[in-house]
Amino acid sequence: MTLVARVPNSIALYDDLSDQWWRPRGAFAMLHWLAAARAALIPRARESGAVLVDIGCGAGLLAPHIAAKGYRHVGVDLSLPSLRLAVEHGVRAVHGDVQALPLRPGCADVVVAGEILEHVPDVDRTITQACALLRPGGLLVLDTLADTALSRWLAITVAERLPGVPRGVHDPALLVDRTALVGSCARAGVHLRLRGVRPSMTDLAGWALRRRPAVRMVPVPTTAVLFQGVGVKES
């Protein structure tokens, strides 16, 4: 069966496919791999009651990877079916738009923006609000898709034609300009460092043959397709 979004980049896709979120081999399998890679960038909480805000949290795929790190995990998302699943995995759910975050500035020790920036029309506004949530010394962690011809070809033209991958997940016009992203973070007091990542080809082959349960994300020298960003809020 081919899974097709009602319109490209529609939030309705995640409502329609909410039963796929926690299937390791479901439509959102790669989001599981990315959640694990994202969590590896997040240190243990430095104090009791530390807050991690997960914007665009979906069904809370980050939760099992940070459960032992000592954070209160707050997730923000527009998809109510997804948020209900996040709650089942220990996330404190907040229904809201990541472009108008309904949280108090300075409330978070960590803000995570995983695979969400390539879905919003106003990245500058979203990242400015995300950085505003951070306390001085707080950590921003993100991953997203670069606005390049190579990224559009690999992540949309190729990837969305693979078996089991939904079509219309991404609008190519919304892929993220890396220079503009770094600039937005800098204006908000966060020096963002970028690195490229991709799935391990060995793991991917093993996963396709059902010999591996998951696929590791590994660093690559280019940020031209999929990249992670890490930055600390100025004190």
Instruction: State the average pLDDT over residues 123-149.
Output: 98
The length of the chain in residues reads: 235
* 8-state DSSP, 160: G
Domain extent for 133? 12-233
> Residue 35 — very low, low, confident or very high, per pLDDT cuts 50/70/90?
very high
Pick from 60, 35, 13: nearest CA to 160: 13
Mean pLDDT of all residues in the chain? 95
With 60 as the cut, is the pLDDT of residue 74 above it?
Answer: yes
CATH code for the domain in which residue 39 is found: 3.40.50.150
User: What's the confidence (pLDDT) of residue 180?
Assistant: 98
With 90 as the cut, is the pLDDT of residue 171 above it?
Answer: yes
With 70 as the cut, is the pLDDT of residue 55 above it?
Answer: yes
User: What's the confidence (pLDDT) of residue 37?
Assistant: 98
pTM of the model: 0.95
Has residue 4 been placed in a domain?
A: no
CA dist 220 and 175 (Å) reads: 19
Has residue 2 been placed in a domain?
A: no
User: What's the confidence (pLDDT) of residue 4?
Assistant: 56
Instruction: State the average pLDDT over residues 138-165.
Output: 94
Instruction: State the average pLDDT over residues 204-220.
Output: 97
Q: Write the CB contacts of 49 (distance below 8 Å, at least 6 apart in sequence).
A: 72
With 80 as the cut, is the pLDDT of residue 76 above it?
Answer: yes
> Residue 6 — very low, low, confident or very high, per pLDDT cuts 50/70/90?
low
193: exposed, middle or buried (Cβ count in 10 Å: 0-12, 13-18, 19+): exposed
Q: What is the pLDDT of residues 25-34, one digit of tens each?
A: 999 999 999 9
Has residue 193 been placed in a domain?
A: yes
> Residue 97 — very low, low, confident or very high, per pLDDT cuts 50/70/90?
very high
Has residue 6 been placed in a domain?
A: no
Has residue 7 been placed in a domain?
A: no
Q: How many domains does the chain have?
A: 1
Has residue 3 been placed in a domain?
A: no
Nearest 10 degrees: Cα torsion 22, 14, 117, 28: 40
> Residue 166 — very low, low, confident or very high, per pLDDT cuts 50/70/90?
confident
Has residue 111 been placed in a domain?
A: yes
Has residue 1 been placed in a domain?
A: no
With 90 as the cut, is the pLDDT of residue 9 above it?
Answer: no
With 80 as the cut, is the pLDDT of residue 5 above it?
Answer: no
User: What's the confidence (pLDDT) of residue 165?
Assistant: 85
CA dist 184 and 191 (Å) reads: 10
With 70 as the cut, is the pLDDT of residue 3 above it?
Answer: no
Instruction: State the average pLDDT over residues 76-82.
Output: 97
Instruction: State the average pLDDT over residues 76-84.
Output: 97
User: What's the confidence (pLDDT) of residue 163?
Assistant: 83
